[in-house]
Amino acid sequence: MNKTVALLATVAALMAGCSTQPPAPEGTIPLAQPLPVENGRTHAPGVAGVNYPPRDAAGALGQRSVFYDFNQYAVPVRYLPLVTAHGQFLLAHPAAHVTLQGHCDERGSREYNLGLGQRRADGVRKLLEAQGVPPSQTDAVSMGSEKPRNPAHTEAAWAENRRTDLRYRGE
């Protein structure tokens, strides 16, 4: 696992150039509890045949968003444990599928924000693929600024809206 984290850190550093952000914490990544097993198959409760991680707020798998600074699309180093945990989950559950939705704040033109949102989603997808997650388990789409998490027009709201959300099929 340390090799995976080192590989992801290298990829993130190459994507981000010089970063002033603190390094990702050392040690193991807290993973959520395994999914229930019925008839030898793991599945999400209430959605037969679809695998996705439980929303364990204490673990990295419970986190579903990567946030960015203004006008940035490189995955910040502090989110590598989150991306690594989701990559491990996807590798362990080949039937699982995640859509990566890139979002922007309201500043910028519609076209610019659609492009920036796509670069944000693609950045997370590249990190998952660097772990060995097959492209068939992921989709990367841009939402631009069309679906804000916080509709206010403040710095705090804009910071909430600059993100990539990981949405599993069946959630």
Q: Per residue of the chain (171 residues), give pLDDT as tens.
A: 555 545 545 444 434 433 333 333 333 333 333 433 333 333 444 334 545 676 665 688 889 999 999 999 999 999 999 999 999 999 999 999 999 999 999 999 999 999 999 999 999 999 999 999 999 999 999 999 999 999 999 999 999 999 999 999 876
Cα gap 39→162, rounded to integer Å: 41
SS3 107: coil
SS3 66: strand
Read off the pTM. Answer: 0.72
Tell me the torsion sign for CA atoms 5, 160, 68, 135. positive
Chain centre distance of CA 116:
15
Pick the CATH number of 2-20+50-168 from 2.102.10.10, 3.20.20.70, 3.30.1330.60, 2.40.10.120: 3.30.1330.60
